[in-house]
Amino acid sequence: MQLTLMQQTLQLAFRIAFVWAGGLLLAVAVRALLPDQLGFRLTAKAGMYFLPFNRIGFWTCIWAAVTVTVLVVVRAMLGDLANPAVR
């Protein structure tokens, strides 16, 4: 059964919403579970910079949600270009 344009748009919106909800929940869980004292120490000319693992995990989950969102939207756009709606 062929989905209408509105059904495809709603399906895409729900997929993106689920990816963001999952990414945010995972990011919050990572931030809560990893201790603040563990991480990388980066040395630079200005001094030493400490980057905790929980912050790395948080931003990795957010970046994954952004990446999946972009991929889903690009896939939908390519599908729309390949199968244009008859007007």
Using one digit for the tens of pLDDT, what is the confidence trace for 3-31? 776 787 788 788 888 878 887 888 788 77
Cβ neighbours around 54 below 10 Å, total: 18
Mind listing the pLDDT tens digit for each residue in 40-83? 888 888 888 888 877 777 788 778 878 888 887 787 778 777 77
Model pTM score: 0.60
- Unique residue bearing structure tokens 């896939």: 75
Q: What is the predicted pLDDT for the residue at 85?
A: 61
Inter-CA distances, 1 with 43, 64, 68, 80, 81, Å: 59, 32, 26, 17, 20
